[in-house]
Structure 1
């Protein structure tokens, strides 16, 4: 058996053609969706990058594995302590170790371990190819490494190859000579002139329209597609087109991989898994080009599985976590599901198209804000513990079927729905705390260490920027919410 997993950083599903996007961003990925199963309600349990990939590789929620942030105590996998053996539990229970237990060679092409000092990400791989850019590389730096691997290894049997691409991640890095295939395509209809004015004059918080580079309007000459800020529709186009060009440029390189696999004669029976670590806010909650919340735009991810001999052209609408993939693969490979894994297999969706989704999901974000959210029915409930200087309400509720871009907070008018969500959140939290040997929720570790990594210690500097850009109206409330930042 041969398995290729493509991990496409910052790729939100609704910017792919196979998920209904009107722009032609992903013809090669779309072909795989036509031949396999496409999951429409698939979420990372923990966002953004490091928490998401740690949850996938350990098979455990961030509250269990300890990684919920990008700095401080909550940016390290929990130590096993005195119970640790010569080889750690991670060595035995990690996702790649599943494939090794099935007699497969496991290979990784990614710089991710270096990017976040996430050395645990390497557990279980026979070989590791670091593409060397710490996540700043474009597809033209990744593809030659993958093609070389394919040419040397593809005809061998029994391998699992995990490949990272980064092009949709800011700063938008598709080369200038690639052009802009979307220059004449319409912009998102939901971002009306009124919405754009609200986002450019009233919204505050990192990665808003006026501080696209997080806390200011810094630009990068090396990345001319990446704006520092924007105030009009021309600037909005630069943002949307820059993101979509990243996806299309990446897709064309993925097409090169598929063609080489065909040349090697292995494409027909190859299992292809296409997913991402997280999505990307492109205007949702007034945030652009960032993955810093526990919302639908950040936490919903693509999942396409093309498995020859199983369901083809099928769409699964059930609720699933990213960390449900390890037990699913274990069941399909005839291997035991590790007791430490928090995931639930959805193998039946691939084998027969049966519905096997969860009743609800709880997703977390503690790197840019501290939030936990509940996804159930048509709703997304977001509870904010630290707003990351966005001035979010403590409770937000969105009816995603009618409001997929999270414009109307229903929390004050739909109190019974909020209470239902809080019940689910408490049930999940009780179960999590009861099923681990630790007495600390790492979300609260982040809070006690001064807040999320990408916000901590930035407020004084940011207040000055708000005053320069005519949004001093927000400063008193920011000071009231975060008095420790001014001591």
Structure 2
């Protein structure tokens, strides 16, 4: 058996051809999707980067494994303590450890462990290649080494190759020589001048006026990445920059597929294509960031092509990315670990069965502190720390009518909100009962001063708001976050 897993950082399904995007951003990925199963409602349980990959690799929600943020106590995986054996559980229960126990050589190409000092990410891998630029890699820095590995190893049996590309992650940096294949193509139709004018009044990191998180600074090395969006030309720079990053990455993925074809292994190769999180490109008025527990950030692609197992179809059930571990265990006839929070969807791959969940709870504690409930056509968002976006405590979006989260309808649907709160409380009770700890790491983040990316910036940001004609928001920010103004 040979398995290739492509982890494509910050890749949003909304900007992929196989998910209906009007631009041809992912032709090589689309070919795989056409022969496999495409999951339309697949979500990371914990966003952004570090919490997401910790959940995927451990098979456990952030509330269980402890990693829900990018710093402080919640930036590290929980220690097992007195119950720890000679080896910790990850040595046997992580995603690569499962595959290794099935006789596969497990190989990683990624800088992720170093980027976030998440050394537990490496648990279970036999061979690790740090691509060396801490997540600032462009595809041309990754592909040659992966091609070299494929050339020397692809013909061997029983391997799992995990390849991490970063090109859709900010700052958008496709080489100048790549050009812009989308220069003459329209922007997404929902991004109108009226929408942009509304977004320009928004406050918060990565809003239209503050693409560089808390200011509008740019860097000459990244001409595709603007500092702010003032007009439709600026909006085009932003969207084209992201889409070019995706297309550039896809072309490099095509090179991997071509070499695998040359090695005559594509016909029986299992291909899994996914992401750690999506990218807000106007959702909630946020651009070029993955800093909320919303549809833009937490909705991710999942494509599985498994010769002899899958048949081409689209699955619309609700799934977490951490459901992959028990699914692989099922398909490989391995026992499912009690510590995993995932639920197998093997039947969706083998028989096209609907085995999705009734609802999902997704979390974000690195930029804001939020938990959201995805159910039916709805996403309900509960905010504990607004990350300076001035979000209300409760938000509700009807994704069928409003897929880009532009109209909060919480006030009009009290009954739906009550259902969502019931689901959220039910989930939280189940998680707290099923672990030996008495602390929810979301509240650890709150007690340690709030989300990592929303610490120590507010005084300077208030000046920026005054200078950019949004000073009316400063009083409310001061009311909500008085301590930040005294730092």
Give runs of aligned pairs for residues 274-353 of structure 1, distance below 5 A: 274-353=273-352
Match of 1:404, SS? coil
Counterpart-to-counterpart distance in 2, 1:194 and 1:274: 35
Provide structure 1 residue ranges, at least 5 long, that are not aligned to the other structure: none
Query: Cα offset for 1:287?
Result: 0.3
Query: Cα offset for 1:313?
Result: 2.1
Partner residue in 2 for 1:248? 247
Counterpart-to-counterpart distance in 2, 1:209 and 1:115: 27
Partner residue in 2 for 1:459? 458
Provide structure 2 residue ranges, at least 5 long, that are not aligned to the other structure: none
Match of 1:454, SS? helix
1:483 aligns with 2:475: no
Partner residue in 2 for 1:192? 192
1:61 aligns with 2:55: no
Query: Cα offset for 1:312?
Result: 2.6
Partner residue in 1 for 2:402? 403
Partner residue in 1 for 2:141? 141
Match of 1:261, SS? helix
Query: Cα offset for 1:310?
Result: 2.2
Contact 1:294 1:372 in 2 (8 A): yes
Counterpart-to-counterpart distance in 2, 1:220 and 1:10: 20
Partner residue in 1 for 2:373? 374
1:394 aligns with 2:393: yes
Q: Which runs of 4+ in 1 moved over 6 A?
A: none
Counterpart-to-counterpart distance in 1, 2:310 and 2:117: 38
Query: Cα offset for 1:5?
Result: 0.1
Give runs of aligned pairs for residues 4-153 of structure 1, distance below 5 A: 4-153=4-153
Query: Cα offset for 1:311?
Result: 2.7
Contact 1:115 1:135 in 2 (8 A): yes
Counterpart-to-counterpart distance in 1, 2:449 and 2:189: 39
Contact 1:479 1:486 in 2 (8 A): yes
Partner residue in 1 for 2:211? 212
Counterpart-to-counterpart distance in 2, 1:360 and 1:190: 27
Counterpart-to-counterpart distance in 1, 2:460 and 2:205: 12
Counterpart-to-counterpart distance in 1, 2:311 and 2:213: 41
Counterpart-to-counterpart distance in 2, 1:218 and 1:133: 22
Query: Cα offset for 1:258?
Result: 0.2
Partner residue in 2 for 1:237? 236
Counterpart-to-counterpart distance in 2, 1:275 and 1:192: 29
Match of 2:278, SS? coil
Match of 2:276, SS? coil
Partner residue in 1 for 2:473? 474
Contact 2:379 2:396 in 1 (8 A): yes
Query: Cα offset for 1:353?
Result: 0.4
TM-score (norm 2): 0.99
CA-based RMSD? 0.6
Counterpart-to-counterpart distance in 1, 2:145 and 2:418: 51
Query: Cα offset for 1:169?
Result: 0.3
Counterpart-to-counterpart distance in 1, 2:403 and 2:303: 21
Q: For residues 258-288 of structure 1, give each alpha carbon's deviation from its aligned partner in whole angstroms, at most 9, with x where no partner exists.
A: 0000001101000000000000000111100
Counterpart-to-counterpart distance in 2, 1:16 and 1:284: 16
Counterpart-to-counterpart distance in 2, 1:214 and 1:479: 19
Match of 2:296, SS? helix
Quick check: 304-313 or 44-53, which moved more?
A: 304-313
Contact 1:34 1:312 in 2 (8 A): no
Contact 2:111 2:131 in 1 (8 A): yes
Match of 1:432, SS? helix
Q: For residues 340-384 of structure 1, give each alpha carbon's deviation from its aligned partner in whole angstroms, at most 9, with x where no partner exists.
A: 100000000110101000000000000000000000000000000
Q: For residues 458-482 of structure 1, give each alpha carbon's deviation from its aligned partner in whole angstroms, at most 9, with x where no partner exists.
A: 1111101111111101000000000
Counterpart-to-counterpart distance in 1, 2:408 and 2:365: 21
Partner residue in 1 for 2:441? 442
Query: Cα offset for 1:240?
Result: 0.3
Q: For residues 83-110 of structure 1, give each alpha carbon's deviation from its aligned partner in whole angstroms, at most 9, with x where no partner exists.
A: 1122111111111000011011000000
Q: Between Structure 1 and Structure 2, how many residues are aligned?
A: 486
Query: Cα offset for 1:247?
Result: 0.4
Contact 2:311 2:350 in 1 (8 A): no
Counterpart-to-counterpart distance in 2, 1:136 and 1:155: 31
Match of 1:237, SS? helix
